Amino acid sequence: MFRCEKCKKIVPPKEKSFLLVVEKRPKIYHINIVKTIIKRRPGKGRKKKKIYIIKKATGWEIKKEIRVCKECWEKERRSNEVI
Ligand SMILES: [Zn+2]
């Protein structure tokens, strides 16, 4: 049994609880990629070259999440779909 943090209703023990993300912040991830390039040069054989690439990717980091009842969770999901 728990209390829904959104509507403050007591949820019966049989009901499942849902985690709802209420706050998130942008996060920049750094991805390191090592690429190996093989150059074929006639008469001189092959030459391997390693290239290091640092890629920046933006994502979201969860800052705060609350425990909500199924009703609130579905409501929130529906409102997110509209946007
Ligand atoms: Zn609720």
Q: Tokens representing 18?
A: 């849902």
- Closest C-alpha to 15, from 56, 68, 54, 64: 68
- Tell me what pLDDT residue 71 has: 93
- Tell me what pLDDT residue 15 has: 85
- Tell me what pLDDT residue 80 has: 74
User: The dihedral of CA 37, 39, 45, 50: what is its sign?
Assistant: negative
- Tell me what pLDDT residue 83 has: 52
Stretches where the chain sits below pLDDT 50 are none
Place of tokens 């728990």: 2
Predicted TM-score (pTM) of this structure: 0.57
Question: Ligand 1 mean position to 33 CA, how many Å?
Answer: 44
Question: Ligand 1 mean position to 26 CA, how many Å?
Answer: 27
User: The dihedral of CA 10, 15, 17, 18: what is its sign?
Assistant: negative
Question: Ligand 1 mean position to 11 CA, how many Å?
Answer: 8
User: Which residues line ion ligand 1, judged by CB < 5 Å?
Assistant: 4, 6-7, 69, 72
